């Protein structure tokens, strides 16, 4: 299956191949490593590894939004640029509001 | 301990599998499994489930580029509403009792099951020659008809409102929101099932973030090991689902999902 969106979206394809896939592979490897370390008996070290992986998993969806932002800037489609910036701002607010 | 790990791994794999097929994060499947079978409290199940949702969403990056059907413009506009809802939901997470969240979960799954069954024959595709596709329309190859088709978004305000509710529920009950967004886009807003599913997978990861951070912050995401195993299952299950996706007819995907949702709804509304 192909869609019109895909053929118009070079930035998103680049992000998928160069950031999304490596991120997925690192997350998968990290989860395997964290699980093995846990079964080896070092629970504190396993928690540390898994916390880093969870942080990566939180970051990956944001990368997709940034890719859409770059694509819309490239097309000079300002209403969608504003929408993407607001979404990123809302995520940042949601994260820092809870941390603080 | 080992048996709970196996259940979590299989549950995560099932969630990832469903994510690839119908665009949901699998929270609707994971929360009852973690809560009912593994004995976690609802809030702990919610935290672990949201990590599984993040895994499902991240797995979409592994989909072959040419097969991605995401509508990024529609996704970004609906994310405005779903992330706002999720942020508000995360802020007021401690407002209700566990039983209230369980009832919310049961009612949500019942409504979505009814919606899916009542509109199961809707395909939402237009002839390839249609020119006025609007700002959010698109063009794709339809495997079921083996030809080029187009689609056009209808009722944007409905999509925006439902996305907001999906965001609130994502934080409240530990689902990514796909279970609400996919049927809504398909049944009410004119989007073909596979485009709705692909767009939803992009949205659910972003919508889950406020809920994950809130769960992390309030201590309900304390079992990192169980969350890790669940997420590992989700990553693997998504890859299997991705390969089997073209062999599942859309109509039967809807019927299967509706049956699963009805069972989950009955569990939370009547069997507790």
Q: Would the pLDDT of A68 be above 50?
A: yes
- The pLDDT tens digits of the residues spanning B243-258 come to 887 777 767 777 887 8
B/e letters for B70-83, b = 16+ CB within 10 Å, e = fewer, are: bbbbbbbbbbbbbb
What pLDDT is recorded for position B248? 74
Distances (CA, A) of A41 to A28, A34, B225: 20, 11, 12
- The pLDDT tens digits of the residues spanning B64-112 come to 654 567 888 899 999 999 999 999 988 887 788 888 888 988 998 898 8
B/e letters for B163-202, b = 16+ CB within 10 Å, e = fewer, are: bbbbbbbbbbbbbbbbbbbbbbbbbbbbbbbbbbbbbbbb
Helix axes B156-173, B72-91, angle to 10 degrees: 40
Residues 6 or more apart in contact with residue B144 via CB below 8 angstroms: B123, B249, B250
What pLDDT is recorded for position B199? 87
Please give the model's pTM, rounded to 2 decimal places. Answer: 0.85
> What is the number of alpha carbons within 13 Å of residue B16 lying toward its C-beta?
31
Q: Higher pLDDT residue, A30 or B185?
A: A30
- The whole-angstrom distance between B271's CA and the closest CA on chain A is 33
Cβ–Cβ under 8 Å, residues B168 and B93 = no
CB contact under 8 A, B228 and A20: no
Tell me if residue B15 falls in helix, strand or coil: helix
CB contact under 8 A, B61 and A13: no
Q: Higher pLDDT residue, A41 or B2?
A: A41
| Consecutive H or E run containing B140 | strand B138-142
Contacts of A42 in chain B (CB under 8 A): none
Q: Would the pLDDT of A92 be above 50?
A: yes
What pLDDT is recorded for position B66? 46
CB contact under 8 A, A84 and B76: yes
Q: Would the pLDDT of B269 be above 90?
A: no
Least CA distance to A63: which residue of chain B? B206
What pLDDT is recorded for position B32? 84
Contacts of B224 in chain A (CB under 8 A): 34, 46-47, 50-51, 54
Cβ–Cβ under 8 Å, residues B32 and B268 = yes
Of B58, B86, B140, the CB nearest to A94: B86
- The pLDDT tens digits of the residues spanning B205-226 come to 899 998 899 888 888 888 898 9
Residue B212 at interface with chain A, using a CB cutoff of 8 Å: yes
Residue B73 at interface with chain A, using a CB cutoff of 8 Å: yes
Please give the share of chain B, as a percent, with pLDDT higher than 90. Answer: 13
Helix axes B156-173, B178-187, angle to 10 degrees: 160
Cβ–Cβ under 8 Å, residues B212 and A58 = yes
Mean pLDDT of A71-87: 91
* CB atoms closer than 10 angstroms to residue B157: 8
Q: Would the pLDDT of B175 be above 90?
A: no
What pLDDT is recorded for position A51? 92
- The pLDDT tens digits of the residues spanning B10-68 come to 988 988 888 777 777 778 888 888 888 888 888 888 889 889 888 888 887 677 654 56
B242: tokens are: 């991705």
Give dist(CA B101, CA B93) in Å, integer: 10
Q: Higher pLDDT residue, A96 or B62?
A: A96
What pLDDT is recorded for position B29? 82
What pLDDT is recorded for position B126? 65
Contacts of A41 in chain B (CB under 8 A): none
What pLDDT is recorded for position A89? 94
Residues 6 or more apart in contact with residue B242 via CB below 8 angstroms: B20, B59, B62, B63
Q: Higher pLDDT residue, B147 or A36?
A: A36
pLDDT band for position B229 (50/70/90)? Answer: very high
- The whole-angstrom distance between A81's CA and the closest CA on chain B is 9
In degrees and rounded to multiples of 5, residue B140 shows phi and psi of -155, 165
Tell me if residue B141 falls in helix, strand or coil: strand
* CB atoms closer than 10 angstroms to residue B144: 15
Q: Would the pLDDT of B4 be above 60?
A: yes
What pLDDT is recorded for position A82? 94
Q: Would the pLDDT of A6 be above 50?
A: no
Would you say how long chain A is, in residues? Answer: 100
């Amino acid at each position: 299956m192909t869609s019109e969106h895909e053929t118009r979206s070079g930035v998103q394809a680049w992000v998928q191949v160069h950031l999304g896939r490596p991120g997925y592979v690192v997350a998968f490897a990290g989860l395997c490593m964290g699980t093995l370390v846990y079964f080896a008996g070092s629970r504190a070290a396993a928690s540390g590894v898994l916390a880093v992986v969870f942080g990566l998993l939180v970051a990956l969806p944001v990368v997709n939004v940034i890719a859409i932002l770059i694509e819309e800037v490239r097309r000079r489609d300002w209403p969608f640029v504003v929408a993407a910036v607001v979404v990123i701002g809302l995520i940042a607010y949601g994260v820092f509001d809870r941390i603080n | 301990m080992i048996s709970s790990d196996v259940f979590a791994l299989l549950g995560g794999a099932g969630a990832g599998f469903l994510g690839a097929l119908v665009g949901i994060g699998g929270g609707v499947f994971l929360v009852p499994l973690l809560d009912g079978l593994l004995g976690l409290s609802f809030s702990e199940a919610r935290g672990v489930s949201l990590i599984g949702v993040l895994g499902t969403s991240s797995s979409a990056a592994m989909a072959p580029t040419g097969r991605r059907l995401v509508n990024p413009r529609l996704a970004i506009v609906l994310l405005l509403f779903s992330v706002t809802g999720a942020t508000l939901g995360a802020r007021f997470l401690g407002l209700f009792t566990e039983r209230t969240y369980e009832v919310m979960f049961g009612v949500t799954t019942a409504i979505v099951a009814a919606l899916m069954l009542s509109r199961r024959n809707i395909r939402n595709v237009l002839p390839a020659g249609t020119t006025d596709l609007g700002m959010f329309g698109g063009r794709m190859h339809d495997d079921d008809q083996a030809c080029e088709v187009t689609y056009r978004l209808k009722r944007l305000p409905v999509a925006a409102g439902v996305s907001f509710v999906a965001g609130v529920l994502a934080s409240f009950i530990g689902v990514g929101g796909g279970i609400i967004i996919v049927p809504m886009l398909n049944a009410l807003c004119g989007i073909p099932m596979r485009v709705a599913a692909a767009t939803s997978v992009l949205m659910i990861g972003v919508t889950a973030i406020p809920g994950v951070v809130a769960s992390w912050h309030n201590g309900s995401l304390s079992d990192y090991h169980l969350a890790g195993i669940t997420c590992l299952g989700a990553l693997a299950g998504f890859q299997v689902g991705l390969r089997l996706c073209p062999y599942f007819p859309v109509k039967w995907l809807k019927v299967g999902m509706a049956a699963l949702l009805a069972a989950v709804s009955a569990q939370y509304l009547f069997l507790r």
